[in-house]
Protein backbone atom coordinates (compact mmCIF):
# COMPACT_ATOMS: atom_id res chain seq x y z
CA UNK A 1 0.00 0.00 0.00
CA UNK A 2 1.72 3.19 -1.08
CA UNK A 3 1.39 6.55 0.56
CA UNK A 4 0.39 9.71 -1.27
CA UNK A 5 2.98 12.16 -2.53
CA UNK A 6 4.07 14.45 0.28
CA UNK A 7 2.48 17.89 -0.14
CA UNK A 8 4.64 20.92 0.55
CA UNK A 9 2.79 23.24 2.95
CA UNK A 10 1.95 26.53 1.23
CA UNK A 11 4.25 29.43 1.98
CA UNK A 12 1.54 32.10 2.14
CA UNK A 13 -1.61 30.46 3.51
CA UNK A 14 -3.92 31.50 6.30
CA UNK A 15 -3.30 30.09 9.77
CA UNK A 16 -5.69 27.15 9.58
CA UNK A 17 -4.48 26.04 6.16
CA UNK A 18 -0.89 26.30 7.40
CA UNK A 19 -1.59 24.17 10.48
CA UNK A 20 -3.54 21.54 8.57
CA UNK A 21 -0.93 21.46 5.79
CA UNK A 22 1.99 20.97 8.18
CA UNK A 23 0.13 18.21 9.99
CA UNK A 24 -0.59 16.46 6.66
CA UNK A 25 3.04 16.93 5.63
CA UNK A 26 4.24 15.04 8.69
CA UNK A 27 1.54 12.39 8.42
CA UNK A 28 2.68 11.69 4.88
CA UNK A 29 6.33 11.76 5.90
CA UNK A 30 5.72 8.98 8.44
CA UNK A 31 3.95 6.87 5.82
CA UNK A 32 6.78 7.42 3.34
CA UNK A 33 9.36 6.27 5.88
CA UNK A 34 7.60 2.89 5.87
CA UNK A 35 7.31 2.42 2.10
CA UNK A 36 8.93 -0.55 0.44
CA UNK A 37 9.83 -2.46 3.58
CA UNK A 38 8.93 -5.99 4.59
CA UNK A 39 6.96 -6.83 7.73
CA UNK A 40 10.21 -7.90 9.41
CA UNK A 41 11.90 -4.62 8.51
CA UNK A 42 8.90 -2.62 9.75
CA UNK A 43 9.11 -4.49 13.06
CA UNK A 44 12.90 -4.09 13.41
CA UNK A 45 13.95 -1.88 16.33
CA UNK A 46 16.16 1.16 15.85
CA UNK A 47 19.12 0.20 18.01
CA UNK A 48 19.52 -1.19 21.49
CA UNK A 49 18.32 -0.31 24.01
CA UNK A 50 15.49 1.35 22.06
CA UNK A 51 12.67 -0.89 20.88
CA UNK A 52 11.13 1.78 18.63
CA UNK A 53 10.01 0.35 15.29
CA UNK A 54 8.34 1.85 12.24
CA UNK A 55 5.32 -0.40 12.83
CA UNK A 56 5.16 0.80 16.44
CA UNK A 57 5.33 4.45 15.35
CA UNK A 58 2.38 4.01 12.99
CA UNK A 59 0.38 2.21 15.69
CA UNK A 60 1.24 4.99 18.15
CA UNK A 61 0.23 7.68 15.63
CA UNK A 62 -3.22 6.09 15.38
CA UNK A 63 -3.60 6.27 19.14
CA UNK A 64 -2.45 9.89 19.27
CA UNK A 65 -4.90 10.86 16.53
CA UNK A 66 -7.70 9.16 18.46
CA UNK A 67 -6.74 10.74 21.76
CA UNK A 68 -6.52 14.34 20.58
CA UNK A 69 -9.15 14.56 17.86
CA UNK A 70 -11.75 12.18 19.24
CA UNK A 71 -11.29 11.80 22.99
CA UNK A 72 -10.20 15.39 23.75
CA UNK A 73 -11.53 17.61 20.94
CA UNK A 74 -14.84 15.85 20.24
CA UNK A 75 -15.23 14.43 23.77
CA UNK A 76 -16.08 11.02 22.28
CA UNK A 77 -16.27 8.18 24.76
CA UNK A 78 -13.88 5.85 22.93
CA UNK A 79 -11.15 3.72 24.42
CA UNK A 80 -7.54 3.96 23.33
CA UNK A 81 -6.71 1.61 20.48
CA UNK A 82 -3.72 0.17 22.34
CA UNK A 83 -2.83 -0.16 26.01
CA UNK A 84 -1.29 3.02 27.41
CA UNK A 85 2.48 3.20 27.48
CA UNK A 86 4.68 3.98 30.47
CA UNK A 87 3.40 6.90 32.50
CA UNK A 88 -0.06 6.60 30.93
CA UNK A 89 1.00 8.07 27.59
CA UNK A 90 -0.57 6.95 24.32
CA UNK A 91 0.48 3.40 23.52
CA UNK A 92 1.02 1.42 20.38
CA UNK A 93 4.80 1.36 20.39
CA UNK A 94 4.95 -2.34 21.19
CA UNK A 95 3.40 -4.34 18.35
CA UNK A 96 1.69 -7.56 19.41
CA UNK A 97 2.06 -10.97 17.84
CA UNK A 98 0.32 -11.00 14.48
CA UNK A 99 0.17 -7.23 14.02
CA UNK A 100 0.76 -6.20 10.43
CA UNK A 101 1.64 -2.93 8.81
CA UNK A 102 -1.43 -3.10 6.58
CA UNK A 103 -3.71 -3.40 9.61
CA UNK A 104 -1.88 -0.58 11.43
CA UNK A 105 -2.01 1.63 8.33
CA UNK A 106 -5.75 1.08 7.86
CA UNK A 107 -6.41 1.91 11.52
CA UNK A 108 -4.20 5.00 11.37
CA UNK A 109 -5.82 6.28 8.17
CA UNK A 110 -9.30 5.72 9.64
CA UNK A 111 -8.32 7.82 12.67
CA UNK A 112 -6.95 10.56 10.39
CA UNK A 113 -10.21 10.59 8.42
CA UNK A 114 -12.20 10.85 11.65
CA UNK A 115 -9.89 13.63 12.89
CA UNK A 116 -10.50 15.66 9.74
CA UNK A 117 -14.26 15.26 10.14
CA UNK A 118 -14.11 16.30 13.80
CA UNK A 119 -12.11 19.41 12.93
CA UNK A 120 -14.06 20.50 9.85
CA UNK A 121 -16.87 22.28 11.68
CA UNK A 122 -14.72 23.81 14.40
CA UNK A 123 -12.87 27.10 14.51
CA UNK A 124 -9.27 27.28 15.72
CA UNK A 125 -10.44 29.06 18.88
CA UNK A 126 -13.09 26.44 19.72
CA UNK A 127 -12.29 24.78 23.02
CA UNK A 128 -12.76 21.43 24.71
CA UNK A 129 -12.27 20.52 28.35
CA UNK A 130 -8.85 19.12 29.14
CA UNK A 131 -6.96 18.60 32.39
CA UNK A 132 -9.16 20.95 34.39
CA UNK A 133 -9.00 23.71 31.78
CA UNK A 134 -9.81 24.32 28.15
CA UNK A 135 -7.74 23.46 25.09
CA UNK A 136 -8.22 25.08 21.67
CA UNK A 137 -8.19 23.32 18.33
CA UNK A 138 -5.20 25.58 17.48
CA UNK A 139 -3.28 24.15 20.45
CA UNK A 140 -4.16 20.59 19.41
CA UNK A 141 -2.97 21.18 15.84
CA UNK A 142 0.27 22.70 17.12
CA UNK A 143 0.79 19.83 19.55
CA UNK A 144 0.14 17.24 16.84
CA UNK A 145 2.62 18.89 14.46
CA UNK A 146 5.27 18.66 17.20
CA UNK A 147 4.29 15.06 17.98
CA UNK A 148 4.63 14.00 14.36
CA UNK A 149 7.83 15.97 13.76
CA UNK A 150 9.46 14.24 16.74
CA UNK A 151 8.32 10.79 15.62
CA UNK A 152 9.30 11.41 12.00
CA UNK A 153 12.82 12.03 13.32
CA UNK A 154 12.64 8.68 15.10
CA UNK A 155 11.33 7.08 11.90
CA UNK A 156 14.22 8.55 9.91
CA UNK A 157 16.75 6.97 12.27
CA UNK A 158 14.96 3.61 12.26
CA UNK A 159 14.73 3.59 8.47
CA UNK A 160 18.41 4.42 8.14
CA UNK A 161 19.24 1.54 10.48
CA UNK A 162 17.00 -0.88 8.56
CA UNK A 163 18.18 -0.24 5.01
CA UNK A 164 20.39 2.85 4.93
CA UNK A 165 17.74 5.08 3.36
CA UNK A 166 17.74 8.67 4.58
CA UNK A 167 15.87 11.79 3.65
CA UNK A 168 12.29 12.01 2.38
Average pLDDT of 2-22? 88
Q: What is the rounded CA–CA span in Å between residue 75 and residue 67? A: 9
158 belongs to a structural domain: yes
What rounded mean pLDDT belongs to the chain? 92
Instruction: Indicate whether 1 pLDDT > 50.
Output: no
Instruction: Indicate whether 119 pLDDT > 60.
Output: yes
98 belongs to a structural domain: yes
The model's pTM is: 0.92
Secondary structure letter of residue 2 according to DSSP: P
Distances (CA, A) of 18 to 58, 69, 136, 145: 23, 18, 16, 11
9 belongs to a structural domain: no
Of the listed ranges 97-101, 109-113, 115-119, the one predicted with least confidence: 97-101
Average pLDDT of 127-145? 97
Domain count, the chain: 1
Q: Which helix (H) or strand (E) holds 48?
A: none
Residue among 109, 106, 129, 105 at smallest CA distance from 117? 109
Instruction: Indicate whether 15 pLDDT > 90.
Output: yes
Q: In this structure, what CATH number is given to the domain that contains residue 31?
A: 1.20.120.450
pLDDT of residue 3: 52
7 belongs to a structural domain: no
How many C-beta atoms surround the C-beta of residue 138 within 10 A? Answer: 16
3-state helix, strand, coil in the chain (%, to 5): 55, 5, 40
Structural domain boundaries enclosing 157: 15-163
Dihedral angle over CA of 106, 112, 114, 117, nearest 10: -140
At 140, the pLDDT band (50, 70, 90 cuts) reads very high
72 belongs to a structural domain: yes
8 belongs to a structural domain: no
26 belongs to a structural domain: yes
1 belongs to a structural domain: no
Amino acid sequence: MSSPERPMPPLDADERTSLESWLDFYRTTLAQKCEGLTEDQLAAPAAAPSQVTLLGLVRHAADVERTWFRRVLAQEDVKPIHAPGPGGHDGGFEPAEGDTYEKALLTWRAEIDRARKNCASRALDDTSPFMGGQVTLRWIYTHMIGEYARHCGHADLVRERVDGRTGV
